């Protein structure tokens, strides 16, 4: 999740991947006015809004990823797409959205939700269910910090809700970052959903460029002031070692389900900007369309 800088500048994105119901709901928010320059990257700037901790991504105008750094940044057969450059400051959530954060949202959203089944997994995520006896959404407290995995359209409504300061009227979920009234599909399966967040959005799902920069770009990659990209979102060119927390560096690639770990379970494994779980946890939505019917996802999948 991400906060917009001032002035708010919509970002662009470019890449393809498969459709799935993942999410770091990294929504962007506008930065509050600040005095003086940002500290050096060795001391990242963190802030909290709506209980979500964000990292400020500075260094506007950074270069795109050179294809020589790694083809993993580019879609096979799609050509050398230019990704990673962002010409404004923004904030992005340090972790994937958690079960406890999502439960608060869907509790507020349910009276306005038109999807029918209150236990529709793309709406609730994997860990939350509607209790008919208690007439509310419930989850095991042990899963409170697990990453959540809803679909893109519900994630967009979450951004609207945050944009509208968690109001509960119908409009709070319908607009702000995305106009959900136009979310529909054509007979051929292509989508008419809003491609990018609205001008003036306070929270949104990250563009591919925003996600790539926050996870891989290091302003001091080669030397102080000599920036570049790491191959992995762990500030390293070496693949992180799968293993349980305290032993490995990521739960991505483990047998079983990596979602059985709380976010930030590997506290020392971070992107250059202090983001956790770029590897492991669950995959993460971006705004980027692929083939008019899929949204691009990033990060490690179970």
* CA nearest neighbour of 267 among 258, 280, 276: 276
Q: 223 or 191: which carries more pLDDT confidence?
A: 223
Output the six-digit token pair for 278: 């770029």
Q: What is the mean pLDDT of residues 173-182?
A: 94
Contact 215, 278 (CB under 8 A): yes
Query: Given a cut of 90, is residue 14 above it in pLDDT?
Result: no
Q: What is the mean pLDDT of residues 273-296?
A: 80
Strands (DSSP E) found in 169-262: 217-223, 226-229
Query: Given a cut of 90, is residue 189 above it in pLDDT?
Result: no
In angstroms, rounded to a whole number, what is the distance separating the alpha carbons of residues 97 and 104?
12
Q: What is the mean pLDDT of residues 137-149?
A: 94
Output the six-digit token pair for 35: 């005095």
**Cis omega (within 30 of 0) for bond into 7:** yes
Read off the pLDDT band of 63 (50, 70, 90).
very high
Quote the Cα angle for 31-193-9, to 5°: 25
Contact 233, 299 (CB under 8 A): yes
* CA nearest neighbour of 280 among 290, 269, 272: 269
* CA nearest neighbour of 196 among 179, 184, 211: 179
Q: What ranges do the domains of the chain cover? A: 1-96+148-302
* 295: β partners: 289
pLDDT tens by residue, 82-125: 789 999 999 999 999 999 999 999 999 999 887 778 888 889 98
* 147: β partners: 98
Output the six-digit token pair for 116: 């029918």
The pLDDT assigned to 41 comes to 47
Instruction: Note the pTM of the prediction, 2 decimals.
Output: 0.84
In angstroms, rounded to a whole number, what is the distance separating the alpha carbons of residues 300 and 302?
7
**What SS3 class is residue 232?**
strand
Q: 247 or 69: which carries more pLDDT confidence?
A: 247
Q: What are phi and psi of 53, to 5 degrees?
A: -85, 130
- Return the minimum-mean-pLDDT range out of 55-64, 137-146, 185-194, 273-282: 185-194
Output the six-digit token pair for 238: 């070496």
Element (H, E) at 286: strand 284-290
Contact 157, 135 (CB under 8 A): no
Q: 255 or 59: which carries more pLDDT confidence?
A: 59
The pLDDT assigned to 74 comes to 64
Read off the pLDDT band of 300 (50, 70, 90).
low
The pLDDT assigned to 199 comes to 92
Other residues' Cβ atoms within 10 Å of the Cβ of residue 175: 18
- Tokens 């020392």 belong to which residue? 268
Q: What are phi and psi of 297, to 5 degrees?
A: -115, 160
Residues with Cβ within 8 Å of residue 200, at least 6 apart in sequence: 8
Q: Using DSSP, how many helices (H) and how many strands (E) does the chain show?
A: 5, 9
pLDDT tens by residue, 30-47: 433 333 343 444 568 899
């Amino acid at each position: 999740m991400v906060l917009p800088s001032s002035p708010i500048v919509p970002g662009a994105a470019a890449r393809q991947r498969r459709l799935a119901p993942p999410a770091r709901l990294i929504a962007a928010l506008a930065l509050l006015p600040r005095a003086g320059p940002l500290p050096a990257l060795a001391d990242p700037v963190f802030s909290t809004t709506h209980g979500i901790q964000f990292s400020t991504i500075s260094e506007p105008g950074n270069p795109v990823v050179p294809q020589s750094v790694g083809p993993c940044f580019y879609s096979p057969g799609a050509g050398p797409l230019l990704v990673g450059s962002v010409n404004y400051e923004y904030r992005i959530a340090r972790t994937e959205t958690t079960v406890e954060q999502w439960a608060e949202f869907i509790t507020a959203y349910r009276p306005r939700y038109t999807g029918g089944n209150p236990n529709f997994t793309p709406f609730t995520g994997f860990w939350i269910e509607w209790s008919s006896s208690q007439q509310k959404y419930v989850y095991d407290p042990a899963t409170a910090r697990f990453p959540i995995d809803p679909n893109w359209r519900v994630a967009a409504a979450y951004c609207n809700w945050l944009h509208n300061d968690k109001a509960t009227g119908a409009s709070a979920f319908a607009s702000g970052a995305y106009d959900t009234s136009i979310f529909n599909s054509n007979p051929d399966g292509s989508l008419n959903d809003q491609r990018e967040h609205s001008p003036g959005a306070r929270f949104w799902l990250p563009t591919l460029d925003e996600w790539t920069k926050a996870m891989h770009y290091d302003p001091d990659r080669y030397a102080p002031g000599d920036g570049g990209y790491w191959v992995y979102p762990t500030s390293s060119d070496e693949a992180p070692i799968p293993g349980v927390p305290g032993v490995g560096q990521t739960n991505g690639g483990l047998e079983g389900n990596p979602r059985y770990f709380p976010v930030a379970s590997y506290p020392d494994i971070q992107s250059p900007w202090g983001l956790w779980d770029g590897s492991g946890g669950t995959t993460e939505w971006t705004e980027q369309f692929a083939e008019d019917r899929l949204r691009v996802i990033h990060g490690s999948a179970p």
